[in-house]
Amino acid sequence: MEFIINQSRIKKVKYQSVVYISVLSFLLSSISVYQTSVLFILPILYLSYMCGYIAIGSCMLGLGLSALLRLIPVDVLILSVAVIGLLWSFKQISTIKSKYVPYFLTLVAGGFYIYSGYELIPMLLLTVLTFTNTMIFTYMAPLFIHGETSLLTHERMKSLSVVVLISLLCLLPYSPIVCFIGMRIYLLLMVEYECLDDALPGLFYVSMLLILMNPVYKDDVLTLLIPLFFFYMIPCKNKLAIACLYFASNLILPFFVDYTYMYHGLIVSISGLLFFIIPHNKGKAVLSTEYRDITVRQKLTKQVDSFCRLFDQMTSVFNQTPMHQHALEYIGYIYEDVCQNCTSADTCFHQKYGPNRLVKLMNKGLKESYDDADIDFIDQYCLRPQQYIDSIEEYHRDYHKMYRIQQEYQTMKKDLYQQFSLLNDVFNQFSTQLQVGHIEEKHIQEHLEGYQFEVAHLKKYYESQNVYYLEIGLYETTREQVVGDLIPILESYLNETLQIESLQVPMNQLGYTYLVLKHQAKYFIQYGLTQSSKDPIACGDSYTVFSTDENQYFALSDGMGQGQVACEDSTLTLDIMKQLILNGVSLKEGIQSVNALLKIKNTNDMFTTLDMVQINLAVGYATFVKYGACSTYILRDHEVIEVQSQALPMGIVTPLETITQKYTLKEDDIIFMMSDGYSSDFGSFLEKNKYLIEGDHPKEITSLLAQLNREEEKSDDMTLIILKLCKQ
């Protein structure tokens, strides 16, 4: 179960955060650079402040224990309490934002170093280190709050490496051997998890701190850094190979450092052996796995793009094919029948200034009728006028038959081009989705950042098909901004309603806002269905029910006639319509596509009806589509509303005018959809019986109506779908 819906996981993360921050505060407070640990204490204080009051208490617990053991002086503890008080005061009056807090803490630290009597150079160095540590620790807040490894981006992994390596320095005063063994094991683990690039910057930074703490450790720093470069040159696929290369890489150290075989050899041997025996969880990666499938996705994207280009080229050529004109061919036929052996042929066809008017009249007679002036001219100048006119009339009929066939062919070709273009659009959408990967979360985050919200974490969880959660982590955001700005922006962008499931602003303005929004459809549909067939083998009526996002679709189609052929046509209509909508095609384009395909298919004058309703479950908005379908009835508060349309069935004419009717439904509205097997007085039946059936479940209503229809003689296939809108 997802983190946001699993309360036990929330408690576990809180407990882990308390332990981690308490231990981390204690360890960091025991590390000194120039005899002070303030450069580590102030950053962990700010991290705790961002995480909330529980984290602050945990931090103060660790610092208090450190003061009790005299690891830090009392004035440092007083400084910590004062800083917390100042941050809390700033929060109350909203005078400072979180991005300025590192600068404020740096000023506080600088003042403390001056108060403590540090010279100029050490004071400036410690001040810079305080600022650097504060910026590094700031990246860690989402990890402590959410406790998810998916948040381990490369930037946060670098920060985590710094924190881990600095924490190990607390062992240095007690046992340098144990400290360096721990560092080496951590680095080997980073090599194993392919995170060495993220650990190396932290190692350089900690090495600098190590030398500042005591310059005598410069050789130990080199023994840490030099062997790591071998792992960039030689890839290792398993733990044994890593351990072997690690031991081999340390053989060159005597050439670069003052090598003590007993001391350094002991560190190398123990760290290598401990790393080898530490169990490895192969099923769980350290970094998020969202980039692991990029190569496969890129290959698939290239194939889809290549197919789209080929498909587009073929479709374009198909669309550009011109319609052939046959007029000159028919004029040639008339010439052979009437003029070829005529003594005046040369005068008509080969005169000096172009064809004679008799030849031009051939072209006119093929395409349209002659007027009286044309007939008089033919009688006056043609040697065989009656043969001329009879031949023109005969070929006129043939020409127009061919012209009609060509027109139908062009219409069919245009319809096919539109369908192929539609399919090409679907493939292009698929290619785009492959390229952007996790499009939803990334686009939502980019949209919020476009409105100047500082989003540290955004994740989308699905509880079911129509219910999901948005878990969002924000910097510098107040409760009023979330309610008044952020939620309306998201609802407008997503075109969906969102409810606040959890809103925690532990440190307003200065801290980290944790927000969980829930999207859940406001309504759900109860439905019942009954169907009877005149043919004993197959019913010519077909129906389908499906959902996309927050829309639910109910569709009914009646094939012409009864039996298997009618069933196949109606099933094909609904199946294509369903698949187009599920693949992102709009309702309007889907209607045109199905109509064109049916017209191409239905050379034997077969057609089907379409009766569909699209119901938006978020707002209760219904869109009715009716082609050749019976009236649909809405029963609402003892009132019967009829939804009807005079549109032709699908598959008869193209283009088909898109006709939709929209209604805003109310809770407990009952919708009746039926095929033409039901009697035409269904509306009257509802008027008479509305008080009896209004409170019933749709299944009970369909059972009642099915029982009544059994008593009547069936003249056609009969299907009835009854829907009821209910609130969640």
Is 407's pLDDT higher than 80?
no
State residue 714's pLDDT score. Answer: 57
Query: SS3 for 441?
Result: helix
The answer to whether residues 349 and 356 touch, using CB atoms and an 8 Å cutoff, is yes
Residues 6+ apart with CB under 8 A from 159: 136, 137, 139, 140, 202
Is 403's pLDDT higher than 80?
no
The answer to whether residues 607 and 650 touch, using CB atoms and an 8 Å cutoff, is yes
Is 503's pLDDT higher than 90?
no
pLDDT-derived band at 293, boundaries 50, 70, 90 = very low
Q: If DSSP states are collapsed to H, E and C, what string results for 197-263? A: HHHHHHHHHHHHHHHHHCHHHHHHHHHHHHHHHHHHHCCCCCHHHHHHHHHHHHHHHHHCCCCCHHH
β-pairing verdict for 718-727 and 551-558: unpaired
Question: Would you state the torsion angle of the CA atoms of residues 292, 294, 300, 301, taken in this order, to the nearest 10 degrees?
Answer: 160
Is 470's pLDDT higher than 70?
yes
State residue 418's pLDDT score. Answer: 65
The domains spanning 439-520 and 523-727 adopt the same CATH topology: no
Is 318's pLDDT higher than 50?
no
The answer to whether residues 507 and 52 touch, using CB atoms and an 8 Å cutoff, is yes
Residues 6+ apart with CB under 8 A from 50: 98, 138, 141, 507, 510, 511, 512
Is 9's pLDDT higher than 70?
no
Average pLDDT, stretch 143-156?
Answer: 74
The answer to whether residues 618 and 518 touch, using CB atoms and an 8 Å cutoff, is no
State residue 121's pLDDT score. Answer: 92
CATH number of 439-520: 3.30.30
Global pTM value: 0.56
Q: d(Cα 158, Cα 202) in Å, to the nearest integer?
A: 6
Residues 6+ apart with CB under 8 A from 671: 613, 622, 632, 633, 634, 635, 665, 722, 723, 724, 725
Q: d(Cα 696, Cα 704) in Å, to the nearest integer?
A: 10
Is 629's pLDDT higher than 70?
yes
Question: Percent of the chain having pLDDT more than 90?
Answer: 16
523-727 carries CATH number 3.30.1330.10? no
The answer to whether residues 539 and 577 touch, using CB atoms and an 8 Å cutoff, is no
Token pair recorded at residue 680: 């035409």
State residue 509's pLDDT score. Answer: 53
Q: d(Cα 275, Cα 280) in Å, to the nearest integer?
A: 10
For the chain, give the mean pLDDT. Answer: 79
Q: d(Cα 558, Cα 721) in Å, to the nearest integer?
A: 13
State residue 451's pLDDT score. Answer: 84
Q: Where are the domains of the chain?
A: 1-149, 153-287, 439-520, 523-727
Dump the DSSP string for 525-569: EEEEEEEE-SSSS--SEEEEEEEETTEEEEEEEEBSSSHHHHHHH
Q: d(Cα 362, Cα 711) in Å, to the nearest integer?
A: 68
Please write the tens of the pLDDT for every residue from 651-691.
Answer: 777 777 778 889 989 888 999 998 877 766 788 878 887 77
Is 620's pLDDT higher than 90?
no
Of residues 315 and 455, which shows the higher confidence score?
A: 455
Question: Would you state the torsion angle of the CA atoms of residues 291, 297, 298, 304, taken in this order, to the nearest 10 degrees?
Answer: -160
Q: d(Cα 483, Cα 428) in Å, to the nearest integer?
A: 37
Burial level of 59, CB count in 10 A (0-12/13-18/19+)? buried
Is 306's pLDDT higher than 70?
no
State residue 294's pLDDT score. Answer: 42
pLDDT-derived band at 1, boundaries 50, 70, 90 = very low
Lowest mean pLDDT among 219-233, 308-322, 345-359, 393-407: 308-322
State residue 350's pLDDT score. Answer: 61
Q: Which amino acid is at 1?
A: M
Radius of gyration of the chain, Cα coordinates, nearest whole angstrom: 41
Q: How far is CA 86 from CA 77, 105, 504, 687, in A?
A: 14, 10, 21, 73
Q: d(Cα 234, Cα 221) in Å, to the nearest integer?
A: 22
Q: If DSSP states are collapsed to H, E and C, what string results for 500-517? A: EEEEECCCCCCCEEEEEE
The answer to whether residues 278 and 189 touch, using CB atoms and an 8 Å cutoff, is yes
pLDDT-derived band at 475, boundaries 50, 70, 90 = confident
Q: d(Cα 211, Cα 204) in Å, to the nearest integer?
A: 11
The answer to whether residues 106 and 131 touch, using CB atoms and an 8 Å cutoff, is yes
Q: d(Cα 149, Cα 161) in Å, to the nearest integer?
A: 14
State residue 588's pLDDT score. Answer: 82
Is 10's pLDDT higher than 70?
no
The answer to whether residues 137 and 46 touch, using CB atoms and an 8 Å cutoff, is yes
Is 605's pLDDT higher than 60?
no
Q: d(Cα 30, Cα 41) in Å, to the nearest integer?
A: 10
Average pLDDT, stretch 84-99?
Answer: 76
Of residues 578 and 345, which shows the higher confidence score?
A: 578
Please write the tens of the pLDDT for every residue from 183-217.
Answer: 999 999 888 887 888 889 899 999 999 999 888 88
Lowest mean pLDDT among 106-120, 157-171, 478-492, 679-693: 679-693
Please write the tens of the pLDDT for every residue from 705-725.
Answer: 777 666 555 566 788 899 999
Please write the tens of the pLDDT for every residue from 410-467.
Answer: 666 666 666 666 666 666 666 555 554 445 677 888 888 888 888 888 888 777 666 7
Question: Would you state the torsion angle of the CA atoms of residues 522, 528, 533, 537, taken in this order, to the nearest 10 degrees?
Answer: 80
Token pair recorded at residue 629: 């379908």
Q: d(Cα 215, Cα 209) in Å, to the nearest integer?
A: 10
Is 559's pLDDT higher than 70?
yes
Q: d(Cα 495, Cα 492) in Å, to the nearest integer?
A: 5
Is 107's pLDDT higher than 90?
yes
Average pLDDT, stretch 493-514?
Answer: 74
Q: How far is CA 532 from CA 561, 710, 713, in A?
A: 14, 9, 12
